[in-house]
Amino acid sequence: MADIFMATYVILAISAAVCIFILWFYKQAFNYWKKRGLEYLEPTIPFGNAVNLCMKRCTLGEIFAQFYLQLKKKGVKHGGAYLFWKPVYIPIDPNIIKKILISDFDYFPNRGLYINERDDPLSGHLFTMENKEWKIYILKMFKLRVIAREAERFFIVLSKNIMDYRKRKCLKTGDLADTLIQLTNDNDQKKLHHMHKNYTMQPLNCNQVASQMAVFFCGRCQIKLRNEIRETLAKHYNGVTYDSVMEMKYLDWVVDETLRLYPVLPIVPRICEKDYKVPGTEVIIEKGCFVMVTNMGLHRDPEYYPDPDKFDPERFSPENKSSRPNVAYIPFGEGARICVGKRFGLLATKLGVIAMILNFEVTLNEKTTKQIKFETNELIFTKNK
Ligand code: HEM
């Protein structure tokens, strides 16, 4: 009997000690932003501010957009949040965002995303980094995949077939695939590496293109777009050429507006490489701190986009565009690590939209939900099945 009491007592004592340690640990961790005098979102044990993400209620992009909007409501230029116990710095003010992504790029050259080349092979190609000590295992923490599995399989087979075929036939057409094949050549990689120390680019990324995008416009927008496409093509003797596509201004606005609401990659993460004093403030972002520029948050900010959930291509007319800061629209990121496939991605998307709008009328199915739900296991926006 005494033994049972003793055992129970020991188990209770150990459990209490573990609980006290966990509470102490979190208390210390959650003091991080307070100590540095930065406004922050109140975290809770154990997920920090990431409860909705951990419960699979929303995606990583959506949760950071929410953080951005909550901090913006507090009227601050920047703020902090916690992913579990890890502090994350979130810039709100466009001037700070510009500094981090563009002029002070030296402090923030990498993304710090976890790469799992075995289970999620395309992740390595998208966001490869050099310095391993900067890796914050954010994707691993939340078990997120960078790319949907079906898309991954398709693109791996497609790229392999193209490369094998061209290598076998010694074919050179001077297009993007040629450049990518060239980059698989070790010597070219080394040259590139030498030119950009923090920069390892690897081929293939087409899966972010049109296939990921839905068309969210019905009615007037669609008619206007179809008319523009028809008229422009008629002027060009029905040729869908680079020039004819570039002439389609409304198409440009429609694609921009779609990427505003649904930026395929909804976050622009960075890792701080050396202590950085945020200009105009006393706050220091320490080396190793995770910085999250949230393009989705910026894109849904009512200060830049009144009635932000409404699909309205007119927001991208030259007058409207010039009325907001450039970094308020960054679906392709910004600065030295801006998306290298931007022009290709836009062109491919536009070609897809042209083919669809010329041949079909898009209407909403009764089953279509107004609020699109995205796959919570994936970083890149993928529609929930
Ligand atoms: C609509 C299509 C696309 C969107 C919205 C998109 C978006 C993005 C974003 C937000 C980034 C991060 C930029 C940053 O951190 O500042 C990125 C990086 C990148 N994208 Fe894209 N992308 C698209 C298409 C493509 C295509 C078609 C390719 C390749 C042919 C591509 C290749 C890359 C590469 C290699 C990077 C990493 C660049 C670096 O680290 O320096 N993307 N993309």
Q: So what's the pLDDT on residue 172? A: 75
Choice between 263 and 216, residue whose per-residue pLDDT is larger? 263
DSSP-assigned states of every residue in 222-249: HHHHHHHHHHHHHHTTT---HHHHHH-H
What is d(CA 68, CA 60) in angstroms, rounded to the nearest whole number? Answer: 12
pLDDT band, residue 341 (cuts 50/70/90): very high
Residues forming the annotated binding site? 339
61 CA → ligand 1 middle, Å: 15
Ligand 1 atom closest to residue 268's alpha carbon, by position in its atom list: 15
Question: From the CA of 341, how far away is ligand 1's center (Å)?
Answer: 5
For 7, the enclosing helix (H) or strand (E) is helix 2-29
- Provide the edge-to-edge strand list for the sheet that holds 78-83: 78-83, 86-91, 290-293, 268-271
Please list, residue by residue across 168-198, b when 16 or more beta carbons sit within 10 angstroms of its beta carbon and e when fewer do. Answer: eeeeeeeeebeebbebeeeeeeeeeeeeeee
Q: Are 345 and 208 in contact (CB under 8 A)?
A: yes
| pLDDT score recorded for residue 370 | 74
CA distances from 246 to 52, 64, 210, 242, 365 (A): 41, 33, 17, 6, 31
Distance 157 CA to ligand 1 centre (A): 20
For residue 93, pLDDT over 60 is answered with yes
Q: Is 97 in the pocket of ligand 1 (CB under 6 A)?
A: no
| Rounded distance from Cα 340 to ligand 1 centre (Å) | 6
Q: Are strands 86-91 and 290-293 parallel, antiparallel or unpaired?
A: parallel
Statement: residue 258 has pLDDT above 80? yes
**Residue where the block lists tokens 């002070």:** 104
Determine which of 129-138, 259-268, 270-279, 363-372 has the lowest per-residue pLDDT on average.
129-138
pLDDT, residue 179, reads 63
Distance 83 CA to ligand 1 centre (A): 25
Domain 30-359, CATH homologous superfamily name and number: Cytochrome P450 (1.10.630.10)
Mutate to test the pocket of ligand 1, among 123, 265, 339, 344 (most ligand atoms within 8 A of CB): 339
pLDDT band at 134 (very low <50, low <70, confident <90, very high): very low
Instruction: Identify the three-state secondary structure at position 79.
Output: strand
Distance between CA atoms of 100 and 367, rounded to whole angstroms? 42
Q: Is the CB of 265 under 6 A from ligand 1?
A: yes
How much distance in Å is there from the Cα of 257 to the middle of ligand 1? 18
Hey, is 128 helix, strand or coil?
Answer: coil
Report residue 298's pLDDT band, with 50, 70 and 90 as the boundaries: very high
CA-derived radius of gyration, the chain: 24
Amino acid at 216: F
Indicate if ligand 1 lies below 6 Å from the C-beta of 155. Answer: no
Q: In 3D, which of 83, 65, 61 has the Cα closest to residue 73?
A: 65
Q: Which residues contact 222 (CB under 8 A, 6 or more apart)?
A: 357, 361, 362
DSSP string, 153-200: HHHHHHHHHHHHHHHHTT---SSHHHHHHHHHSHHHHHHHHHH-TT--
Looking at residue 40, the DSSP 8-state letter turns out to be B
| Token digits of residue 291 | 């910085």
- Residue bearing tokens 């949760």: 63
- Alpha-carbon distance 156 to 189, whole Å? 20
**Ligand 1 within 6 A of CB of 205:** yes
Nearest one of 94, 42, 53, 148 to 294, comparing CA atoms: 94
Average confidence (pLDDT) over 295-314: 97
Q: What is the pLDDT of residue 193?
A: 52
Query: Which residue's CA is the nearest one to ligand 1's atom 13?
Result: 333
Q: Is the pLDDT of residue 17 over 60?
A: yes
Mean pLDDT for the chain overall: 84
Cα-to-centroid distance, 211 and ligand 1 (Å) = 15
The whole-number pLDDT of residue 220 equals 87
Q: Are strands 276-277 and 284-285 parallel, antiparallel or unpaired?
A: antiparallel
Q: Residue 261 pLDDT > 60, yes or no?
A: yes
Give residue-wise pLDDT tens across range 95-109. Answer: 999 999 999 999 999
- What tokens does 360 get? 């079909």
Average pLDDT over residues 15-37: 95
Q: Which residues carry a binding-site annotation for heme? A: 339
Q: Which atom of ligand 1 is nearest to the CA of 111?
A: 15
Residue 201 near ligand 1, beta carbon < 6 Å: yes
Minimum-distance ligand 1 atom for the alpha carbon of 180 = 30
**354: pLDDT strictly greater than 70:** yes
237, pLDDT greater than 50:
yes
What pLDDT is attached to residue 215?
41
Which pLDDT score is estimated for 61?
95
CA 174 to chain centre: 30
| Residue 333 in contact with ligand 1 by CB distance below 6 A | yes
Average pLDDT in the 65-90 region?
97
Higher pLDDT, 195 or 272: 272
Question: Is the CB of 206 within 6 Å of ligand 1?
Answer: yes
Q: Report helix angle 342-359 to 220-235, nearest 10.
A: 100
Q: How far apart are CA 277 and CA 233, in angstroms?
A: 53
pLDDT value for 374: 86
pLDDT score at 198: 45
Which two three-digit tokens encode residue 15? 């459990």
- Rounded to an integer, what distance in angstroms lies between the CA atom of residue 143 and that of residue 214? 25
**What number does the ligand 1 atom closest to the CA of 176 have?**
30
* Interstrand relation of 78-83 and 284-285 (parallel, antiparallel or unpaired): unpaired
